[in-house]
Structure 1
């Protein structure tokens, strides 16, 4: 176990963990082009929100990520984390006039912040392997039970109807797309010399290629999800963001996503989580 918990970086504080979550969500928002997603300069496939909506949401959630990190450090049960997340969602909706900007991120990044602070409270340093182990050890059973509850949210209902892996199921499995695809893809892109923005864009497409994104399933059904996954694979096979026409290809794909009203919100949340990991681990 000591080998799992070893790292070169010092253990971060709850304030650092929470701040990294807010900054990671801004990393995701600032990335452009992103097919179907809100950026600082366009609405993507969303008529009801823009960058200002997302910034109001981010400001409303800043204290949440620190608070849930504190709960993780204190060894709080899952029920306490869930109540904290529900309260954060209410603050988000109040700040955005009822628009869901970050519900998925509240769930995913909240759990990750709690797991990271649980590690730090024990004096351990943060690594992806240790973080995933802690999540499963502390709250895995509760997350498995939660994943078995019927969802009342559009994405969760679409995932159930189509036989896809829901966001709750991803959490119960220890976020495999984050730890097995997104985080390695982001580090590999940076290691081969890509700048931060194109590295994040390639990571987004790597996530889209494999994730059962319930946002895509809700908006476009299985056809929309399959289209997005195939398009992401084709983008990466053609060289991705690092090739001479990579950004043009991403913009063209974005126009097609808007035409189809597709938005890979689950992939966006997973990208933000990978950016958070990179800031801390």
Structure 2
């Protein structure tokens, strides 16, 4: 029989991977890979994104396992970072060197770790708080390489994925989760609720993926357009936004990572109140 630690690690990994797959399958998404097109990307496909997500199962499982019942610490930060780097290598092997989920490994890996610290009993607020505490410890073994994200954060003075995590994922707590819950309460379909959730992120996040491709002009354009389309009841008009983003080479990849993280938090929170059979239904 599996221990509680093993069982939760399995569940957390399944929820994490499921959240990544649901993010990429959401359609239509402006400038992003979905079931209709590959957005502003020439090197990505839906199948490649799904394959990449599935290769991360062991990564998230191992992060959950080493974090179970512990407290945020320097040692834990560096342990999960080492696991994350192994996950990155597996991702690149599966995708032929294409970066599909590096940002998601960071964000969701931290949330998996934080949820496992609480043995699956933490509230969402407690999870993001612990995740921020973990992220605030330096990783002394991190390779000193100039990634696109690091270059952009220095060039434009934005927090990026690291700052978002260290602050306890404020854009999730202030914008995406409230939008998801509010949209459901208004009776929107789950697909439309998630599309509005994504738009709420694009409208507010200083997305380093957008900045990397098009600078501040592209970021301001994306934010303005997303905020405008949020006011529209007919979300079919997102197809128009998709065309505009593709023509301008805009890909809100950072917002997509935060959408997947939002879905993870929503699912992991829902699991607290259900039995084992229902848990299987939620994560399959």
TM-score of the superposition, structure 2-length normalised? 0.86
Inter-partner Cα distance in structure 1 for 2:165 and 2:266? 19
Runs of 4+ in 1 over 6 A off after TM superposition: none
Moved more, 173-182 or 90-99: 173-182
Inter-partner Cα distance in structure 2 for 1:273 and 1:132? 10
Match of 1:172 in 2: 166
Match of 2:197 in 1: 203
Does residue 1:193 correspond to 2:181, yes or no? no
RMSD after superposition: 1.8
Match of 1:228 in 2: 222
Cα contact 1:151–1:157 (8 A) shared by 2: no
TM-aligned CA deviation for residue 151 of structure 1: 6.4
Match of 1:7 in 2: none
Match of 2:128 in 1: 132
Does residue 1:40 correspond to 2:28, yes or no? no
Inter-partner Cα distance in structure 2 for 1:70 and 1:136? 19
TM-aligned CA deviation for residue 141 of structure 1: 3.2
Does residue 1:141 correspond to 2:136, yes or no? yes
TM-aligned CA deviation for residue 140 of structure 1: 4.5
Gaps of at least 5 residues in structure 1 are 1-11
Q: Deviations over 1:137-165 (max 9, x none)?
A: 4x14315x78xx98611132112201222
Cα contact 1:119–1:134 (8 A) shared by 2: no
Does residue 1:246 correspond to 2:243, yes or no? no
Cα contact 2:19–2:261 (8 A) shared by 1: yes
Match of 1:257 in 2: 245
TM-aligned CA deviation for residue 171 of structure 1: 1.2
Aligned length: 257
Moved more, 262-271 or 169-178: 169-178
TM-aligned CA deviation for residue 109 of structure 1: 0.3
Inter-partner Cα distance in structure 1 for 2:155 and 2:163? 14
Gaps of at least 5 residues in structure 2 are 1-6, 270-284
Match of 1:113 in 2: 112
